């Protein structure tokens, strides 16, 4: 049994498993990326933050920053970036967001704590999978990914399936947990 690192997610509500709730449609979470106070939409703000750039400036003008994809460990290229919902939107629907009002769903969809800039390849590979089905290829990011998902789930009072909590705990235990990145 691996030893704990003390950075394991705690007191996240759980359910036995994820049950598909009929009626999911991405449009239930609003019209898309919300406009922010800085004049940029959520997607542009998350992407600019990852590249340490000004979101009001078009990405071709950002130069050539060396930014690493937290899921793969490879360098990100701005034109190949997608914004991933760490706790997938369809999973949130299944775990309780179907009971929220439209304003709460839109807040969730645009919450920067649940968003990360990754390569389109990594985002497509992850899809709407949860930690028991998918983990970042970059081993040092797995614990941070799992902890962030648990944090978001707790913030929105969404229970996580027990198999996913086990996968998160496994990713944060032993040497892997000690060597993990602190944040995504």
Question: What is the domain partition of the chain in residue ranges?
Answer: 40-178
Partner residues linked to 160 by β-bridges: 14
What is the pTM assigned to this prediction? 0.90
CB 30 within 8 A of CB 105: yes
Helix (H, G, I), strand (E, B) or coil at 117: strand
> CA 16, 22, 23 angle in degrees (round to 5)?
135
Sequential pLDDT tens for the chain (184 residues): 334 444 555 678 999 999 999 999 999 999 999 998 888 999 999 999 999 999 988 888 887 778 999 999 999 988 899 999 999 999 999 999 999 999 999 999 999 999 999 999 999 999 999 999 999 999 999 999 999 999 999 999 999 999 999 999 999 987 655 555 656 6
């Amino acid at each position: 049994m691996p030893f704990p690192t003390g950075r394991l997610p705690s007191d996240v509500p759980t359910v036995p498993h994820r049950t598909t709730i009929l009626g999911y449609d991405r449009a239930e979470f609003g019209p898309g990326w919300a406009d922010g106070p800085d004049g940029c939409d959520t997607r542009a703000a998350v992407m600019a933050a990852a590249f340490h750039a000004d979101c009001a400036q078009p990405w071709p003008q950002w130069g050539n920053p060396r930014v690493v994809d937290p899921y793969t460990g490879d360098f990100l290229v701005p034109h190949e970036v997608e914004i991933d919902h760490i706790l997938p939107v369809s999973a949130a629907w299944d775990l309780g967001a179907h009971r929220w009002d439209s304003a709460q769903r839109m807040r969730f969809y645009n919450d920067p704590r649940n968003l990360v800039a990754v390569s389109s390849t990594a985002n497509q590979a992850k899809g709407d999978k949860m930690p028991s089905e998918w983990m970042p290829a970059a081993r040092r990011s797995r614990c941070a990914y799992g902890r962030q998902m648990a944090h978001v789930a707790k913030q929105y009072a969404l229970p996580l399936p027990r198999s996913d909590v086990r996968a998160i705990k496994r990713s944060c235990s032993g040497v892997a947990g000690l060597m993990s990145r602190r944040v995504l």
